[in-house]
Amino acid sequence: MIGSCSKVSHNGNLDGRWRMKECYSKASTDDAHYTLYTNKMENQIYWNFQLKLLQITSGLQYNGKTCETICRFAYEEDRLSITSTYVHFRDRDSLITDPNTTSLVELGIRGNASNYHIKRLTSTEMILCSDMDSLIFYQLH
């Protein structure tokens, strides 16, 4: 009998490739509602989940050099936490350590880590809400 080792994901519907469609933001954390709308389709932002790794690709370049960001995340029931972010260059990954960076806001991440409440997660649609943003995605099949 021959056995093999493989990693099994526990992410359920979260796994796969998601395209960011829209973003609704608050003007400040004191606001009760997300009122500022941004259509994200033209930016071609994709969040790809597999195991504990999130790969974000975009039509937007980070510092004019790369279009790829790699994140570690934790997923539990109705919560998603991005715990660390890395800018992916061809020859290395560079950890983003500044918690006040604004370089990832266009990708849906404020600072170098973010916490989201999962409002909706089906096989076709995902809505993530943080203190400042509500991100709407659809899944590519």
pLDDT confidence of residue 138: 97
pLDDT bin (cut points 50, 70, 90) of residue 1 is very low
**53 sits in which H/E element:** strand 53-62
9 vs 21: CA distance, rounded Å:
25
Residue 47: both structure tokens together? 């969040």
Residues 6+ apart with CB under 8 A from 8: none
Give the DSSP letter string of 58-107.
EEEEETTTEEEEEEEEEEETTEEEEEEEEEEETTEEEE---TT--TTGGG
Contacts of residue 111, Cβ cutoff 8 Å, sequence gap at least 6: 98, 99, 100, 101, 104
For residue 22, count CB atoms less than 10 angstroms from its CB and return exposed for 0-12, middle for 13-18, buried for 19 or more: middle
Judge if pTM exceeds 0.85: yes
Phi and psi angles of residue 61, each rounded to the nearest 5 degrees, phi first: -95, 140
Q: How many CA atoms lie within 13 A of 103 on its CB side?
A: 19
How do residues 108-140 score in pLDDT, each as one tens digit? 999 999 999 999 999 999 999 999 999 999 998
The per-residue pLDDT for range 34-48, each reduced to its tens digit, is 999 999 999 999 999
**Cβ contacts of 103 within 8 Å, gap of 6 or more:** 62, 63, 96
